Amino acid sequence: MGVDWHLGHDPKVERLVEIYSIWGNSERSARQGNPIPIRVLRAEREGRHVIDGLAIGYQMGFIGGGRHL
């Protein structure tokens, strides 16, 4: 789960990152204090959160999703 930021980022076509979804919050890992980590599909993986992409210099906007009950 998450993005392997070291594979690259194209800001022309990847302007946004979904930071919150029905699956959870991808801002940071549970170990780093995320109260609602993503727990599906092998759960979360270190180094593949939004703060990790920002830490290596990527600039992006954020979007949140979910579903309406």
60: its two tokens: 């992006």
List the beta bridge partners of residue 64.
20
**CA distance to 22, 52, 64, per residue, from 40 (Å):** 11, 20, 17
| pLDDT reported for residue 63 | 92
Task: Give me the half-sphere count of Cα atoms (radius 13 Å) on the Cβ side of residue 47.
Answer: 4
pLDDT at 50: 93
Q: Which residue has the tokens 């703060």?
A: 51
14-63 confidence digits (pLDDT tens): 889 889 988 889 999 999 999 988 877 766 788 889 999 999 999 999 99
pLDDT attached to residue 49: 92
CA–CA separation, 20 and 11 (whole Å): 20
Please give the model's pTM, rounded to 2 decimal places.
0.80
Stronger pLDDT, 61 or 68, i.e. the higher one: 61
